[in-house]
Structures are given as C-alpha cells and as structure tokens.
Structure 1
C-alpha cells in the first residue's frame, strides 16, 4: 500500500482511530487515578581508599575504587542488607519487597554511589534511604577489613544524607496520558487498516474500479426524507436528490449518441439497494424533461413501483403476456410528471418463463416504437434470473450499487450474470451516498462534482 492509500484509510475510518484513542486515553487517566502515589528520597555515598601520597598509587587507588563501587551497588539488592534495614526501622515487609523499593546508581567514571528509595510515605522513603546508606557503609567496612586488621583499605562515606520531598514521582499523569494517546493512535490506525482490508463492501469508485470498468453514471445522495417522499416529483427541484437524478438522466442520454438506445433495465445485485425508487425517479426525471418515457414494472415477484407512484397494480404486464388485456388498457399515467406506466399485474407462478417468452419480446418491440425511452424495473440479479433475461433483450442494463451495502464479490457475480447472456452494462449508479461525499465522480467521459452537477444538466 502507498501513502495515499493510508491517507484514504484515515479519512474513511477516522472514527475508529478517534474512538480508540479516546478509550486508551481514558484508560490511562483511570490507571493514573487508581495508582498509589510514590515519593522518592536519595542519599549519596563516596567510595575512597586509604590516604596515599604517591601520585601513581593514588591513580591506581582511584581505579580500584571505581571497580569496587559497582560491587557495592550490587550489594544494595542483597537480602542481608534489606533485613538489617527492616530490623532497624521495624518495617512490616519482606526483604524481597524492600529491595524492590531501593535502587543504586553509579555516576559514570566516578566513585559516587546514589541510593534512591521510594515509598507511598515521603517520610518513610527518607528513613529507608538513610538507613540503607548507613547500613551499606557498615557492610562495606566489614567486608573490606582484612582478617586481623582494624581498618579497611577502602570505605564508603555518606556525603549527602537522605533527602525529603513531598512531590510524588509516580504516577506521572502527563506521561501516562501521552502514552495512552500514542498507543490509542497506533491501535486505532491498526484496527482501521485491518477493517479496511477485511471490508469488501463498495464504498467508493476505487472499490468499483476493482471489479468493473463501467462508468459511474450517477451517485444518489442519502436522503432521510426519501421514505416519506420517495418521488422526485414531490420534492423541491433544487434539492440534492432531484439534482442527482437530473445528472443521471443527462449522463444516460449521452452514453452513445450514435446508437438508438431506448430500453434500459435497472437492476441490482441483491434486494434492498433501492433499484425500484431509482428506476421510478429516473423515469420521472426523463418525463419531466419532455422525453416520452414509460416505466415498465417487470419485477413479477415483489412489485413495488406502482405503490410508489400510487397507481393501480391489479392490471399490467402479466395480463399483457397472457393476452388478457390490450396494450392501451394496461398503460397508466402519472399525472404529476407525465410519466406513462405499466404495472406488473398479478404475481404469476412462473415469472422467468413469462419474461423470456415471445410475448415479452413482442411487448418490448412495441414499446421501442412508441416511446423515446423505456425504463424497466427488474428484480435483483443474484437471487433470480429475471433481470439477466430482460437485460439480454434490452439495449443495456444499469446496475444499482448501494453505498456500504453490497460487496465487491456480489457486484462481480452480478456482472458475470449479465455477461453470460451477452447483456450490455451501460453504467453503474451508486445509491445512498453519504452527504458531502467527494469520493464519487458523476458522468460518462467527464467528472461532475456534487456542487457543479447542476451546471451539467440543462434539460
């Protein structure tokens, strides 16, 4: 992946990163609040040898002291020294636990040894540090005094008694919260990358480009009011949804100006992607532009277009196919837009057989003669074969893809269904695009941004 791919992931999954960062920062705050405050006290010792007048001897003694001071620092962790301090201060702890409270450090290239003790009580920390320093000097004297001698050639001297401070050294809120934020960013970004890798849903034109080279003819912005007012003839003409269908209408008219393309099937990969409302509103937009348009409700399994148009669904395509009614008797008109409409009619037991019959071909031939454009509302491609059969007899198919709902594999299988019957895919329409989304380009040959879409279509 390139840097631009990671930037896209951040833009798309920013909520994951923000939430994870906030959670980790909150956890760091909580951990800081529940941690017991610790106070520190330090005492410093100086390690020296017996007085020597010779410069060479002094130099050797200095090197000897530097070597020995490292051993004394190691003695700080001894159980014997810890037990002496416990007995001295009457502490109710174990040598192992007390050793964990004290550490020794040696300044580089010096013979200075610093003892630092920590404890929830600053006075106790001072007492522990001072007791350790005193008992360490005694231990050094005992260990370094040769048998039969009264004086050790090397000794440890306390030069700084144990300090006192009421400023806690632990926890450190700023450091903890900072680490929590950094950790949250890293985890959040990792989760975002993982989510993006595992997410195969169509969320952008880049996702579509992985499965098809067909152009994106339109992107219908998500509108929460669409369930109440599904038809563009009932909303303001300058609304984003109405404008999106005008852009789709214009792009459809300019797909191939040299061929007489009149009949288009509107379908989708799976149900609930909005194909019926898209087909209906596209047909209305064409009719409003003065194009003689007919909407054919050919979803003979779950017809919904007649309900959206508030027209009668009792008589329609099924009656025409079995010869029960004449063509004029099946055509209805939507007064608000001038759109002509043929409902599905009664639900038959054999939809696929009816749609691939000669009678269906005769109906399509007649519609081709009488109308400028025919929009066919067809069933989804994957559950049934109806849409593929209709697309093979039409001039082209429009595949509706709902943003964030359908996967790349589902779109790929849908395209395979169309290819198997030699149906032409004229373009893709993306439905339910989040507001202010800039990831989609409208148009065939040209890219139309959402704010300039209204300048494209003049019809």
Structure 2
C-alpha cells in the first residue's frame, strides 16, 4: 500500500469533510429533537388511527360478453362490448338501480348512503367491470355487494330491452365475488404508524437544520478569523482531557494532538510580526468557559519544554480555580502581592513540568478591579519579566467585566480564545471593543475545541502514523513481556541478563 493510499484510507475512516457534512453533524447534534419529533409523529398517527372508523370493503367483478348475431362479426361484437363498458359503470350508481339494491339487500341504508359507498371501474381492454362497496359495517357491505351481483345483469338487460336483436343480449358473468374482505381496509395501522414516524423524522430534521442555519455562532477557523480581523494562531482540537481537570493538560504526552497544537501556537507567537516582544502576554476570551485557562497551560508547558523559564499567572481574582485544578498547595497569590501583603517570591509555586512555575490568583479581594487598575500590576509584571523568559497571564473573560482589558493594557500582547460553536460574531466584536477602550488591541485569536475534521495538525498527525514517525499510541494492555538478552561475552565470566523492553 502506498503512502497516499494509506493516508486516504485513514482519513476516510475518520471522516473526510463532505459538502453536506455540516448538516449531517447538525442532525447528529440534535438527535434528541429528531427523536422527540419521531415519537410525536408516532403518537399522533396512533391517535388518529385509534379514532378512525374501520371500513370494510366488498367486491364483485363481471365479465361483459355481447354475443355476435347474424350479420355481425366477432370483432364488431367485441368493439360493441367495449363501447358499452363506460355506460355499465355509470349504471351501477344510477338512481333506479340503487333503489333496487336498497330494496333487495335490506341493508338499512338510504339510497344516498348506498350511492356514496358504491364505486365502479371498467376496463375496456379486458371487458372487466369491477364494483366495490365500502361500508363501516361488515354485514351491510356484504348484503349490498351481494344484491349488486344478483341484480346488475337483469338491470342491464332491462335497459337494453328492445334495442338488441334476438340472441344479442349482453351477458354479465360474475368472475370474482361477491365477497367482503375479512378485515377492515382502513385505517391501515402499519402504514399510518410508519407515515407518522417518517413525518416526525422529517420534521425533526427540518428543525435541526433550521436551527443550524439560524445559529450565528462561530464554528470554523475562517469564520473566527474573518469576524475578529486578527490572525489565527492555532487550532486546538477537542479533547476530553482538556474538557476535564486542567491538570490533565500537563500530563498529555508529547505526541498528542493537543501538544502538537500547543507547539504550533508557540511557534506562531514567537514569529508574529505584530508582537516583536512576547515576553509577557495575556490569554483571555469573549465569554467564560471557552478554554482560556487550558490554552494558557498548554502554551506555558510548550515554552517550558522548549527550555524557557516560564511563569503562568492566574489573574481570575474574583473566581480563583487554578490552585485546585492543578493541585497546588498554596492559595495565596497575585492579589496578595498586588495588595502589598506578600512578596512575589513567597507566592511562586513549582508545577510537575520542569521550568514551569505558577502564581495563582490568591485571596479573593474586595475590589479586584481597583487592584488591577493601579501601578502595582505593572511593577509586579516587570519584576516577573526580569526573572522569567516567558510570562503568561491567564485573564478573565472580556465580558462583562473590564478586568481583562486592564491587564491587556500593560502586557506585550493579548491572545483571544474562541471556543468552537460558542460565541457569535457580534459577541466577539463587542468583547474586542473592550480592549480598544483602554487603547490596546488583541494580537491574535485561537480557536478551541475544534472537531478533528477541522483541527490543524490532523493531516500531519496521520502522516506520522502512516510513516511510522513517532509513537502516538500506547498498547492498551500495558507493556509487552520482557525479552531476556545476554550481556557479556566469551570471557568465561558469569553472564548477566537484563530485561530489555521493546
């Protein structure tokens, strides 16, 4: 198998983007809507069916024969019979014949009710005349169709009496019936229930697709870049680990897609033309819950793994969480330093990653905005700049508070994280205006929680798998059994053995 064929096969298995793929994903995401609509359609069909009156159908079929008379060929007789078929079909519902059927059958129906229940169809090619009777009562349907079968031939002969030559009377032979189906022909329970489910499914699909069309949230990297007017620095794929505790981000192995995205973000920040100095940057988002803390941890870890002394600063002074998320012992931090209660050295903590230190938010202050507005923040950040190569400030969301904007005014650059399918263009633009209110601008955007079909590095990751570069997967069953290999030689000394892992 060639490299291209293998790569194409893996992409096909993981889902290559197709023209209607977004609508399919919308339907999958709204599966509960489709399910509810299908159940509603089934319930509606069941209700209508249960309240419908059962209808029974009787049928009798005649074969029309007009014998040839003297001086008339068989073909002429056949054409004559064909010409009469439409008249015979009309005769079945004539007032005179219906009155006779009502009188003979004793079905207890009026002439009008009997007329409504009778229908006739004529086939001039086969000379077959089919009469059907549909009634809500089985016995009345049988009595009516039996009366038609027994009296229609005589009614035809009476109509043609004196108009045909002797021996040329039309003969109507009963070839099927009279009979009534044992079960009702309507309502058709399986058909009605099936149609109800199909209509419900169709309604559910229409609703989910309409919701997607009306959804103005930003979902693709192109939409985020266009709405913000800023360069897109990274596409972070969705990860279950990143959606849980933040400490899991620090544990992700180097071959993962998250680590690949973090390295991509690190490279783009280092070479961003609008950010010549990226020593102190802040990471924020338009609203809360978009993954700014996770992104800050990923970038901080990537810089630390590159050998740079990195400090991660939590600036969520109102709702500190970092200490609990990554399992740090001290709860004092930035707010205590800004208030002048503690020196910076006393609040710096080590993490599980070499070269990565952190300062948590600290004690929740009464006036967090006032702490961030003062000169103390600028002095503390300058002190951090002298001690560390990289300082990343994990700021709160840009809306509805101004804390993130105040931080953005005193750092080298601001990165805005946008979670896939979370915020609209209007919300993002309004958040970016908060930065403009303090005479600063965002430097770039990062789209987070992107499905694998849209995440950057996916093709590169697949290429590594196909070509055998790197080992992104571990055996599920643990390490393989050890193989014993002799170490020593032919010196006659005792041979030692060690376990060598593959």
TM superposition score normalised by structure 2: 0.69
- In structure 2, the CA distance between the partners of 1:201 and 1:84, relative to structure 1 (3 Å rule), is farther
- In structure 2, the CA distance between the partners of 1:23 and 1:345, relative to structure 1 (3 Å rule), is closer
Q: Deviations over 1:373-413 (max 9, x none)?
A: 21111111121122123234333333333344434433343
Q: Take 2:231 and 2:103, find their aligned partners in 1: how far apart are those partners?
A: 85
- Give the one of 115, 122, 125 matched to 2:131: 115
Q: Hey, what does 2:330 align to over in structure 1?
A: 312
Q: Hey, what does 1:292 align to over in structure 2?
A: 309
- Give the one of 37, 53, 59 matched to 1:41: 59
Q: Hey, what does 2:4 align to over in structure 1?
A: none
- Kindly state the Cα deviation for residue 302 of structure 1 after the two structures are TM-superposed: 2.0
Q: Deviations over 1:275-297 (max 9, x none)?
A: 33443454345435533111112
Contact 2:280–2:411 under 8 Å retained in 1: yes
- Give the one of 144, 160, 177 matched to 2:175: 160
Q: Deviations over 1:12-44 (max 9, x none)?
A: 413369737964895699589968585553321
Q: Take 1:99 and 1:216, find their aligned partners in 2: how far apart are those partners?
A: 79
- In structure 2, the CA distance between the partners of 1:83 and 1:403, relative to structure 1 (3 Å rule), is farther
Q: Hey, what does 2:268 align to over in structure 1?
A: 255
- Kindly state the Cα deviation for residue 318 of structure 1 after the two structures are TM-superposed: 3.1
- Kindly state the Cα deviation for residue 167 of structure 1 after the two structures are TM-superposed: 7.6
Q: Hey, what does 1:246 align to over in structure 2?
A: 259
Q: Hey, what does 1:399 align to over in structure 2?
A: 416
Q: Hey, what does 2:442 align to over in structure 1?
A: 424
- In structure 2, the CA distance between the partners of 1:298 and 1:96, relative to structure 1 (3 Å rule), is farther
Q: Take 2:461 and 2:56, find their aligned partners in 1: how far apart are those partners?
A: 60
- Kindly state the Cα deviation for residue 344 of structure 1 after the two structures are TM-superposed: 2.8
- In structure 2, the CA distance between the partners of 1:401 and 1:106, relative to structure 1 (3 Å rule), is same
SS at match of 1:400: strand
- Kindly state the Cα deviation for residue 451 of structure 1 after the two structures are TM-superposed: 8.8
Q: Hey, what does 1:194 align to over in structure 2?
A: 210
Q: Hey, what does 1:368 align to over in structure 2?
A: 385
Contact 1:293–1:374 under 8 Å retained in 2: yes
TM superposition score normalised by structure 1: 0.75
Q: Take 2:109 and 2:254, find their aligned partners in 1: how far apart are those partners?
A: 76
Q: Hey, what does 1:438 align to over in structure 2?
A: 452
SS at match of 1:271: coil
Q: Does 1:223 align with 2:237?
A: no
- Kindly state the Cα deviation for residue 126 of structure 1 after the two structures are TM-superposed: 5.7
- Kindly state the Cα deviation for residue 132 of structure 1 after the two structures are TM-superposed: 1.9
Q: Hey, what does 2:11 align to over in structure 1?
A: none
Q: Deviations over 1:235-262 (max 9, x none)?
A: 4x4499xx35422431222114443312
- Kindly state the Cα deviation for residue 349 of structure 1 after the two structures are TM-superposed: 4.5
SS at match of 2:268: coil
- In structure 2, the CA distance between the partners of 1:28 and 1:383, relative to structure 1 (3 Å rule), is closer
Map 1:66-145 onto structure 2 (within 5 A): 66=82, 68-77=84-93, 81-108=97-124, 112-118=128-134, 127-143=143-159
Q: Hey, what does 2:376 align to over in structure 1?
A: 359
- In structure 2, the CA distance between the partners of 1:40 and 1:202, relative to structure 1 (3 Å rule), is farther
Contact 2:281–2:413 under 8 Å retained in 1: yes
Q: How many residues are aligned here?
A: 440
Q: Take 2:158 and 2:387, find their aligned partners in 1: how far apart are those partners?
A: 116
Contact 1:47–1:69 under 8 Å retained in 2: no
- Kindly state the Cα deviation for residue 354 of structure 1 after the two structures are TM-superposed: 3.5
SS at match of 2:240: coil
Q: Take 2:226 and 2:471, find their aligned partners in 1: how far apart are those partners?
A: 28
- Kindly state the Cα deviation for residue 49 of structure 1 after the two structures are TM-superposed: 9.3
SS at match of 1:299: coil
Q: Take 1:188 and 1:389, find their aligned partners in 2: how far apart are those partners?
A: 46
